[in-house]
Structure 1
């Protein structure tokens, strides 16, 4: 799931809010969110 979300985020298809949705759904960890977006995860 990480590679898929990272690719879409890098392409501009997903926003930080979209990536946060994956964390809420337990498909990504907070650490993965930070790696993808470069921002600290905040609930």
Structure 2
């Protein structure tokens, strides 16, 4: 999956948000996200519900 996401990102078919989706789905790791995008993965926070 890493190679496909990397190639798609480099071709401009995926945005940073698209690549984040693969991390959230556990299809690539946070380290692989950084390797693909060059940007640290920012772990999304879930706002508490009241």
TM-score computed with the length of structure 1 as normaliser: 0.98
- Mark the runs of 5 or more structure 1 residues left unpaired by the alignment: none
Instruction: Give ranges in structure 2 of 5+ residues lacking alignment.
Output: 44-50
Structure number with higher helix proportion? 1
Number of corresponding residues? 43
Higher relative contact order (CA 8 A, sep 6+): 1
- Tell me the TM-score normalised to structure 2 length: 0.84
